[in-house]
Amino acid sequence: MELKELYKSYKNQSILSGVSLRMEEGEIVSLVGLSGSGKSTLLRIIAGLEAPDAGSVHLGGRNVTTMKPKDRPVGMVFQKPLLFPHMTVLENVMYGLKMKGYRKNQATKEADGFIEMAGLTDVSDHYSSELSGGQMQRVSLIRSLILRPKLLLLDEPFASMDHTRRMELRAWVKSVIKEVGTTALFVTHDRDEASEMGDRIAILEAGRISQIGSPEHIYHHPATPFIAGLMSDGLLLGNERFVHRENLSTESLHPHDVRWTGEIREKKYMMGNHMYSIHIEELGQSVVLKVADGDLGDPVTITASEKNIQTFD
């Protein structure tokens, strides 16, 4: 998929400002941004549910900008599963195949395979009112994937679930998307979810994609102060510089290091280590670091080498 200079505005307010993005076949890209940043609007334009004011959408090398939604090789999974309440799981999954002219026995066989893949064989004759939230979202996903769209759009599909269920389901969703080989654009505002799901992450900031890269690169090398605050850990030094948490120390004695004085505010236990939330008054920020010894309220000196301080372009 390729988006070329997409613009969209409402009441003279810009929602998307020249968004450009290219996705490779079979790739999953996580699209991250704050509420109101235009994530859902972008998905609706790709799906054909809204028209851009300018720009174009290309799928498989074909310009589909003016193509009707039903004619686009695009599947979409929403925050809330939109299942037909009067149909069983099997009937919901095979519905799209029947609309494409598949014979009933052929559609049933295909649907049974996807239902088994989703671990829903035992509830294939159940209606949506008899399913859990996670089961309904699985049905929604395989109902889209069974049509083998060139592009699958997922609009925060786990937003209404508890933490444990989200973790279980997103791992399963990623494995199924990779198994089927579909290209997917996954929208979320959760950085951990974005990093787990995406081969790459694209950050939507002020109507533009301000950075795209691997989860590791964006975490360690955010391109703007906004991305540093949203996707990374460390200290912002004004709007020009940033130092990542891994480059901060509470033990360095090098005389040329940059230094800040902080106060221990909270003790945390993370990944087998005792960590401390340290507040630095002069920066108005807190950072979680490992401290050899300390109690709540104790002062802590934090240092960083000047060479490890990143300057934003």
- The domain in which residue 250 lies consists of 235-311
CA 277 to chain CA centroid, Å, is 27
Are 196 and 252 members of one domain?
Answer: no
Please report whether residue 246 resides in a domain: yes
Look at 221 and 158; give whichever has higher pLDDT: 221
Please report whether residue 121 resides in a domain: yes
Residue 182's pLDDT is 93
Are 199 and 272 members of one domain?
Answer: no
**To 10 degrees, what angle do helices 104-117 and 133-145 make?**
130
Last residue of a domain, one of 194, 220, 246: 220
Are 68 and 169 members of one domain?
Answer: yes
pLDDT in tens, 52-71: 999 999 999 999 999 999 89
Are 128 and 242 members of one domain?
Answer: no
Please report whether residue 226 resides in a domain: no
Please report whether residue 230 resides in a domain: no
**What proportion of the chain, given as a percentage, has pLDDT over 70?**
99
Residue 79's pLDDT is 80
Q: Is residue 92 a contact partner of residue 151, using CB atoms and an 8 Å limit?
A: no
CATH number of domain containing 270: 2.40.50.140
Are 204 and 251 members of one domain?
Answer: no
Residue 274 clears pLDDT 90, i.e. is over it: no
Residue 98 clears pLDDT 70, i.e. is over it: yes
Looking at residues 7-15, what average pLDDT do you find? 88
Are 209 and 240 members of one domain?
Answer: no
pLDDT in tens, 295-304: 889 999 999 9
Are 214 and 275 members of one domain?
Answer: no
Are 21 and 165 members of one domain?
Answer: yes
Q: What residues pair up with 303 in beta bridges, in sequence order?
A: 249, 259
Instruction: State the amino acid at position 148 in one-letter form.
Output: R
CA-CA distances (angstroms) from residue 182 to 38, 70, 179? 24, 18, 8
Q: Is residue 262 a contact partner of residue 240, using CB atoms and an 8 Å limit?
A: no
pLDDT in tens, 176-190: 899 889 999 999 988
Looking at residues 146-159, what average pLDDT do you find? 90
Instruction: Assign 4 a pLDDT band (cuts: 50, 70, 90).
Output: very high
- Identify the weakest region by mean pLDDT among 12-16, 226-230, 272-276: 272-276
Please report whether residue 259 resides in a domain: yes
Looking at residues 35-47, what average pLDDT do you find? 92
Residue 90's pLDDT is 96
Are 48 and 174 members of one domain?
Answer: yes
Q: Is residue 257 a contact partner of residue 244, using CB atoms and an 8 Å limit?
A: no
pTM for this prediction: 0.88
Residue 163 clears pLDDT 90, i.e. is over it: no
Are 205 and 299 members of one domain?
Answer: no
- 3-class state of residue 150 by DSSP: coil
Looking at residues 226-239, what average pLDDT do you find? 95
pLDDT in tens, 282-297: 999 999 998 877 888 9
Number of domains making up the chain: 2
Q: Is residue 250 a contact partner of residue 243, using CB atoms and an 8 Å limit?
A: no
Residue 160's pLDDT is 73
Residue 271's pLDDT is 64
Are 44 and 187 members of one domain?
Answer: yes
Last residue of a domain, one of 186, 220, 254: 220
Residue 18's pLDDT is 94
Please report whether residue 302 resides in a domain: yes
Quick one: which of 20, 16, 57, 17 has its CA closest to 36?
16
Please report whether residue 305 resides in a domain: yes
**How high does pLDDT run on average in the chain?**
92
Last residue of a domain, one of 220, 250, 274: 220
Are 260 and 208 members of one domain?
Answer: no
CATH number of domain containing 215: 3.40.50.300
